[in-house]
Amino acid sequence: MASLNERLPENVTGRYYVDASCIDCDQCRVAAPQIFGRNEDKGMSFVIRQPVTDGEIAEVEEILAGCATASIGNDGA
């Protein structure tokens, strides 16, 4: 489960985030490149834009549930 204490600073403000346990597998970026980006220096994903529509939110929730390292979080705010 992703940890708010380990939330990467590259994430945009909002309820969804990627934490420091990311292993750069590329899964989230392939599935939703409009939401997830990559920090080239650190080799980690981060949220570049929060989902807005119901469809985008559902897509991110599905990606969150399938993250192999549980590095994507939803702080519920």
- Give the model confidence (pLDDT) of 6-37 as tens digits: 999 999 999 999 999 999 999 999 999 999 99
Question: 65: Cβ–Cβ under 8 A, 6 or more apart, which residues?
Answer: none
Measured CA to CA, the distance from residue 37 to residue 49 in angstroms comes to: 9
Under a CB-based contact definition with an 8 Å cutoff, are residues 7 and 73 in contact? yes
Under a CB-based contact definition with an 8 Å cutoff, are residues 58 and 31 in contact? no
Under a CB-based contact definition with an 8 Å cutoff, are residues 64 and 74 in contact? yes
Domains of the chain plus CATH, in order, are 4-74 (3.30.70.20)
Whether the per-residue pLDDT at 58 is higher than 80: the answer is yes
Under a CB-based contact definition with an 8 Å cutoff, are residues 45 and 34 in contact? no
Mean pLDDT taken over the chain:
96
pLDDT value at position 76?
Answer: 82
Question: pLDDT tier at 77 (50, 70, 90 boundaries)?
Answer: low
